[in-house]
Amino acid sequence: MTDLEFYLSECRDSGKGHTIGQFTDAVGRVQTVEDAARFFRGEVEWLKGRDDMTGDAEDIARQNIGYVIGYLGDSERKRVGTLFAEACGAYHPAFGSLTRDISPEEAFTAGAQMATATEKARTR
């Protein structure tokens, strides 16, 4: 099985695409550094195949993975974050480290700042 096939299989992608929920569930199911690396390489390949892809696929994949890891519970976030950080250098786009404690207040503030930055970028 290729890395792309592994990625699509883990995301339960039947050829019609996959949802953010399927992607998040797939990230959370990863149990080893080796599988985290395969998943990352598969996502990079999948991103490169998209018609609307712009930017560095590897960095986008690192951030995509890191972003959804941020939605996992503390112990799961630290476990999965450690695997992906070691496998590919994944990081959360607002918090950086996937393994440190993040308070609800910090999460709210970071989300608000990201939303503001996105809105400013759209209106330029």
* pTM assigned to the model: 0.86
Q: Can you give the residue range of the structural domain that contains 29?
A: 3-122
| Segments in the chain below pLDDT 70 | 124
pLDDT tens per residue across span 17-41:
899 999 999 999 999 999 999 999 9
| Total tally of structural domains belonging to the chain | 1
Phi, psi of 72 (to 5 degrees): -80, 155
